[in-house]
Chains A and B, each alone.
Chain A
Amino acid sequence: MTDTALEAAALGKRFGRLRRSAGWALRDCSFALPAGRVCAVVGPNGAGKSTLLALAAGLTAPTEGSLTVLGGPAGQARARVGFVAQDKPLYPQLTVAETLRMGGDLNPGRWDARAAERIAAGGDLDPKARIRALSGGQRTRVALALALGKRPELLLLDEPMADLDPLARHELMGVLMSQAAQHGTTIVMSSHVVAELEDSCDHLLLIGGGRVRLAGDIDALLETHARVSAAADTDLAPHTVVESRTTGRQLSALIRPAAPLPADWRTGTPSLEELVLSYLRNPEAKAAGAPAKSPEESVA
């Protein structure tokens, strides 16, 4: 197993080359995700999260740059990568049991039928029920069973929990986390609901406007940012300002300190949601990598 599960170098994907409306869904993305992490891919709708996951799953080819998945080019490690697309596509004409059997047929040598059946059984799913008769949440469960049954080393989940009720969400998140803990599976899951991911993820990839805005270990990212309040006329230099707002005589800001902060500032550690929102509200703020991963960033 390689140390890096996912590594992008100047990765870009453009859709509709022939059309006038051709646009970049993802551009100039560089980041590295160490193996064994549970990574949240966060960003507004249309930010490029699904494109990134589809590229990692080997479903589309990048227009430029490269994406290394489990040590090889994307698409060459299909057997070791699990993927659940946002709309949870399944064959409507098959039954639950036939769908899982297909998983076995298409993943020779890796398929763990018992694990897949256990996940499906957790939802009281009738194995003879046709997929077309299932609710959205039940389909999500079958799709996850199919993805986990192949015992992936890297699991890519696009908005996995969107149609689940809170109970099922809690249970399936637990299944995912125990999978990650037991087998060292790297999990990458996207969401636009940050709170949904805060408890389970230890790595963050924030995407906005097709670019990586923030990437790294969540604890490290929180530690290297500070929420500060000071007098309105305070000069925030030399710190990197992500977002600042002045109300009356009070200045509140989210900054990346470049030096020890003055004692007369009130400081605090931001929450993950505050951090994410600050970056998303301020597209001009400089992209930040995790300090340990990209030393050139911390000099900035």
Chain B
Amino acid sequence: MSTFTAQLATVLRLHRAALIVWTVFVAGCVGYLVWLTQVTAPSLLGPREGCPDGGTDPCVIGLDYLEYSSPMGWVSTFMYYGFWAVAAWSAAALIGRELESGTARLAWTQGVTPARWLAAKLTAPALVLIAGGAVFVPVYRWAWSAHRALMGDDWTFADVFAARGPLVVAYGLCALAVGTLTALVVRRTLPAAALSVAVMIVLNRYVEKYREDYWPPATGTPHGAPVMQADPGSYHPQSHYWPLHLVETGIILTVTALATTAAFLLLARRTVPARTPRQESPA
């Protein structure tokens, strides 16, 4: 196990720049969310002249709320579509460049089998993505529900829907696996990156389009909280958020598992003799 830990450390050392960029991005998003929620929102909500009841109750005047809701929206949008960057990076920098420049062969001729190499290559960034999600998602959930009156969005918005749970991490992991697979198939850095991003965009568009079909909708007339429209005459109340979210997470993780398995099989087919030759014992 300690051997594998050393291999993970090697992967992180090799991709130090990407690790720093990702850490700064996640930390920046989290810090910004806290700032928006704790500093920006109260300053907009403070009692003011012109508010009803002589300015004693918190209220928002004009379009000031955009100072809060617009950056909040950007944070969830960037985090949601962060998988585009992950797809390009894993296809190009993580795997493609190694195959193109021959450094993968350098690793495979140390004491590491290609399968172990790929396992370390995938595990290290996967752990980083999961850790990032574990920090971001709770903070985002807290920030998103703190000042609903200032927000123009609701739970059905595509980015909000993903960013409030593990789905945002699942898309990152899926991009990691798809990028790895395309790099192993194409074996060239730039075409692999382009293909990987394209595949992820198509997958995301397609899965998102059928989002309302992942759980049986309620019928009748919606009342109260914002709802997700399904077929005419049926809808998803907010209580369907978790089932819908978790089913989609499951779909994306299934794709992730399939892409990962395909990557390992492809690598094995290239590097391991098909039939292990039964060696004639040397005299």
Within 8 A of A (CB), among B65-111: 101-103, 105-111
Inter-subunit contact B6/A73 (CB<8 Å): no
- Binary contact track A100-129/B, C-beta < 8 Å → 1, others 0: 001101111010000000000000000000
Query: B50 contacts the other chain (Cβ, under 8 Å)?
Result: no
For A55, the closest partner residue in chain B by CB is B273
Known: A60-B270, A61-B273, A75-B273. A85 touches B108 (CB 8 A): no
CB neighbours of A147 from chain B (8 A): 109
Most buried by A among B14, B102, B273: B273
Query: A89 contacts the other chain (Cβ, under 8 Å)?
Result: yes
Query: B271 contacts the other chain (Cβ, under 8 Å)?
Result: yes
Cα distance A59–B110 when bound, in Å? 11
Inter-subunit contact A85/B272 (CB<8 Å): no
Query: B269 contacts the other chain (Cβ, under 8 Å)?
Result: yes
CB neighbours of A66 from chain B (8 A): 273, 277, 279
Inter-subunit contact B111/A68 (CB<8 Å): no
Inter-subunit contact A93/B14 (CB<8 Å): yes
Inter-subunit contact B108/A59 (CB<8 Å): yes
Query: A81 contacts the other chain (Cβ, under 8 Å)?
Result: yes
Looking at the assembled complex, report how far the CB atom of B92 sits from the nearest CB atom of chain A, in whole angstroms.
14
Query: B274 contacts the other chain (Cβ, under 8 Å)?
Result: yes
> Which of A67, A82, A90, A93 is close to B109, meaning CB atoms less than 8 Å apart?
A82
- The number of chain A residues touching the other chain, given as a range, is 35 or more
> Which of A73, A82, A85, A103 is close to B273, meaning CB atoms less than 8 Å apart?
A73
- Binary contact track A219-254/B, C-beta < 8 Å → 1, others 0: 000000000000000000000000000000000000
Cα distance A94–B271 when bound, in Å? 26
Within 8 A of A (CB), among B250-283: 269-274, 276-277, 279, 282
Most buried by A among B9, B10, B274: B10
For A61, the closest partner residue in chain B by CB is B273
Cα distance A262–B276 when bound, in Å? 51
A-B pairs with CB below 8 Å: how many?
102
Interface secondary structure of B, over-half rule: helix
CB neighbours of B14 from chain A (8 A): 91, 93-94
Inter-subunit contact A59/B3 (CB<8 Å): no
Cα distance A258–B2 when bound, in Å? 61
Query: A4 contacts the other chain (Cβ, under 8 Å)?
Result: yes
Looking at the assembled complex, report how far the CB atom of B251 sits from the nearest CB atom of chain A, in whole angstroms.
32
> Which of A58, A71, A106 is close to B282, meaning CB atoms less than 8 Å apart?
A71
Query: A268 contacts the other chain (Cβ, under 8 Å)?
Result: no
- Binary contact track A57-89/B, C-beta < 8 Å → 1, others 0: 111111000111001111100110111010101
Inter-subunit contact B277/A106 (CB<8 Å): no
Known: A59-B271, A61-B274. A4 touches B106 (CB 8 A): no
Inter-subunit contact B103/A150 (CB<8 Å): no
Query: B17 contacts the other chain (Cβ, under 8 Å)?
Result: yes
Inter-subunit contact B13/A94 (CB<8 Å): yes
For A107, the closest partner residue in chain B by CB is B111
Considering the complex of A and B, which 9 residue pairs feature the smallest CB-CB distances, nearest first? Answer: A66-B277, A89-B102, A106-B110, A83-B109, A79-B111, A105-B6, A107-B111, A89-B103, A61-B273
Q: Taking beta carbons and an 8 Å cutoff, which residues of B are in contact with A?
A: 2-3, 6-7, 9-10, 13-14, 16-17, 101-103, 105-113, 269-274, 276-277, 279, 282
Q: Taking beta carbons and an 8 Å cutoff, which residues of A are in contact with B?
A: 2-4, 7, 9, 54, 57-62, 66-68, 71-75, 78-79, 81-83, 85, 87, 89-91, 93-94, 98, 102-103, 105-108, 110, 143, 146-147, 150
